[in-house]
Chains A and B, each alone.
Chain A
C-alpha cells in the first residue's frame, strides 16, 4: 500500500512536470473562422421577383376582366368590344355601353378548384401583408 502511494505521488509529480501539450498557434482562430463561416446568413433570392409577381398578377387580372367584359355573353348581346367604335364624342347624348358579363360554361370541379385557389391566394396575401408590417 505504501509502495502504491509512493508510485501515486511520483506519477502525479512527473505528470505535472510534463504538463499539457499545446496545439498549433492558430488553433483557436481555425475553430472561430469555421464557426463564423457557419454563421453567415444565406440571402434568399426568389426566382421571380416581387415586381415580376405584380406584373404576372396584373396580366392575369387584365385577362380575366377582358374575358368577362369583351367576350359575347349570348346571341342577343353585343360584345363590349364591338360597342367601342359607337362611342363618338361629338354627339351630345352619351350612350353608356351596355355591360353584359360573359357567361362561361365551367364544370363543377373547375369552380371548386377556382374557389380553393382563391382561398389560398387570399391566405397568402394576408400573410404577405403581415410580413411587410412586421419587417
Chain B
C-alpha cells in the first residue's frame, strides 16, 4: 500500500476527515507498536499503550507545528505513554553508568550469527532484545529500526545526546552478550 506524506494526512484530519487519520495510523502503527512492545515486553499492554498514544496524538494534532518530523512527535507520545505504564507496574530507571570496554570476541561471534538461518537469527535477536532493559531496547529500536537520529532520540526520550550514546553502546553490548548466552544455553540443552 502506498501512503501519502504525513502532512497531507494531518491537514485532512484537521479539516475533520477521520479516515485520513485512519491512514496515518495504518502508516505508523507497526513502528509505534514495536517501540511500545520493546519497552513493555507485553503485546496486550503495548497495544493498549499504542492505541492510547494514537488517541492522544489525535487530540493534540493541532499543537503539532511541523518543526520536527511527525514520527519523532508521535514516538515521543508513544514512548511517554509506554513509560507511564511501565512506571506504574514495574520499577523503571535509566542507568547511565559508563560501560567498560572489553575487547571480547563479539565480532567473531557475529560472523557465526550470519551463518544461521534467517528464522533462527530472528528468534535469537527477539530473545536477546527481550533480555535488555527497556531503555536500551527502546534506543536500539529507535536508532536501528526506526532510523531516528541521535538528536531525534534525544527529543523522544528527553535525554542528552551523551546519555543516548551511552545507552546505545551498552544496548549493543548487552544485546550481543544476551544472544551469546542464549545460544550457549541452547547448545548445552542439545548436548
Contacts and interface: CB of A to CB of B under 8 A. Distances in A.
Answer whether A and B are interacting partners.
yes
Q: Mostly helix, strand, loop or mixed at chain B's interface?
A: helix
A28 B37 CA distance: 17
A28 B145 contact: no
Given A11-B175, A18-B122, A18-B126, A35 B18 contact: yes
Interface residues of A, number: 28
B84 interface: no
A111 interface: no
A21 to B, nearest CB: 5
Interface string B121-136: 1100110010000000
Contacts of B169: 4
Given A3-B103, A11-B175, A31-B55, A23 B33 contact: yes
Interface string B11-41: 0000000100110011001110110010000
Interface residues of B, number: 38
A27 B144 contact: no
B9 to A, nearest CB: 13
A24 interface: yes
A5 to B, nearest CB: 10
B182 interface: no
B79 interface: no
A8 B175 CA distance: 11
A49 to B, nearest CB: 32
Q: Mostly helix, strand, loop or mixed at chain A's interface?
A: helix
A38 B58 CA distance: 12
Interface stretch (B85-93, B106-114, B149-157): B106-114
A22 interface: yes
A83 B145 CA distance: 98
A30 to B, nearest CB: 6
A7 B176 CA distance: 9
Contacts of B47: 23-24, 27
Given A3-B103, A15-B140, A31 B30 contact: no
Interface string A89-105: 00000000000000000
Counting chain B CB atoms within 10 Å of each CB, the highest count among A17, A21, A34, A36 belongs to: A21
A14 B113 contact: yes
A6 B29 CA distance: 31
Interface string A34-72: 111001000000000000000000000000000000000
A21 B34 contact: yes
A11 B34 contact: no
A16 B25 contact: no
B34 A32 contact: no
